[in-house]
A and B are shown apart, each in its own frame.
Chain A
């Protein structure tokens, strides 16, 4: 099955907010909540400052999503095609997913009484109907491009090369925390856009290893030590009782 992704080209974004609007309409998100939203970042100091825009701080649809690993009730899931989706009917609202996400992207609609997690679902329902995600389908400049992740990576590399050193020579999301479905290329440092440098090992590996190996080990060792101690002290007591009895009979 093809793995999909989304390439975001910061250099091509003109800040028209078409994607913000399309997403809001398609997903009917609560007031004040945006699953994707164009942000502005100023680069340089006055009078040479230059604003950059891009739809940032949206779910990256990680290949090894920490949020999915964190969720106790399986309300979050990663589809083989790439989308990390959310099912409010299971969610208990513990917000472990928010705390665990390295990009700090899941939100909560705090103003509701029974809040739910708010995050981009990569328009999984549109994908199922062979449509692109709403945001990419309306982007007029190609700053948001949907497609197979592998070909997007190739495309990104080409664009960086063609930029003649204008672009940072790095595809953000290719390897970060094990790779993400959403990719960024940019003429400005990623860090100034709020995309912090992250290691390339998945966050989930250690935690899941500990869950699978550590948990039964702790339970087993604790039970064995306890049982052993119990038997040992019981036997010693019986020994003591026997010896006092022997002394008594003397």
Chain B
């Protein structure tokens, strides 16, 4: 009896909390556009980038689950993965939509944002350009990959057939775009040789960002599948996850070797111990984001259990957040004496975006055949 009322109240609490937080986020976003950055954020000349940029460069690799999934399901023709592809691609799309929204809010001159889409203005050497264009295109690709949900729901057979033919091409375009912008996010910081601390600045940044996006994407797939499996009582395809965890372990190991080797070659090993709080941050990232999940995913006994998978995935995601926060904020040298802590509005926007994404996820999964077993025939 008690269990049943709990089951009924939990969703109501979710709707109320997410609804309120989402509405507040929307409200302060409009306020931010109307009032300007100075009035609403704690950004300054010393800290031109803050929470929003960190959130973007974290959410993009986190949402990489969609591209990793597409690669496995479509290109390698591993049909069994189609069953878990849709929830992941939906989560990925919502992640990218959130990134686009926050990017727009972050633009001081948002009224001219369309100029970045105009080829006549393009500076092809700017990674900000490449990242923006790729993200815009990729969000459209994700929308296309999700569109079979609609064709299926409304039984538009001919469109459905057309999409089945185009599926591999769309997925392929998405994968190329993803590789490009995940790497370019790292390249954004190549210019900051003098200000980004030596534990993080490296000419290999694009490769590091790409690699970490792929294993974080795998972690996101594991996370989303385990969580949705629990929340919706949908068995998911949890048996597919150990394979993904094993792949993640290989990539984590490769990433660790490259990071370490890079520090040795660039002669920065001393910073691992002698840079005060930044050294601590570095070790936090390595231990939480690399060592622990590597062990959890490498051992057969843990990667074949729900808890082992879930904790491994959470550690990877926390490690990713630490890494991106270091590169985008903590390890960037700023003028002496300058300080930054995000304003309430900056936090509210981020939390609001997450709440709206959660609502959208719940609504879409309720009304469209996201967990349909027929998924196998239509995502690709």
Contacts and interface: CB of A to CB of B under 8 A. Distances in A.
A249 interface: no
A93 B127 contact: no
A204 B125 CA distance: 9
A215 B210 CA distance: 12
Contacts, number: 178
Interface stretch (A2-10, A42-50, A205-213): A205-213
A92 interface: yes
B179 A116 contact: no
A102 B194 CA distance: 6
A44 B20 CA distance: 57
B191 A203 contact: yes
Contacts of A223: 172, 176
A227 B75 CA distance: 8
B192 interface: yes
Interface string A14-57: 00000000000000000000000000000000000000000000
Contacts of A230: 75, 77, 168, 172
**Size band of the B side of the interface?**
35 or more
A194 interface: yes
Interface in A71-89: 71-74, 88-89
Contacts of A237: 77
Contacts of A69: 123, 125-126, 191
A210 B35 CA distance: 38
A1 interface: no
Contact of A90 (B112, B125, B126, B184): B112
B218 interface: no
A102 B39 CA distance: 27
A94 B198 CA distance: 25
Interface stretch (A106-114, A159-167, A182-190): A106-114
Contacts of A70: 126-128, 191
Interface of B: 34-39, 43-46, 48-49, 71, 75-77, 106-113, 115-116, 118, 121-130, 132, 168, 172, 175-176, 179-180, 183-184, 187-188, 190-195, 203, 206, 210, 332, 334-336
Interface of A: 66, 68-74, 88-96, 98-100, 102, 104, 106-116, 177, 194, 196, 198-199, 203-204, 206-208, 210-212, 214-215, 218-219, 222-223, 226-227, 229-230, 233-234, 237
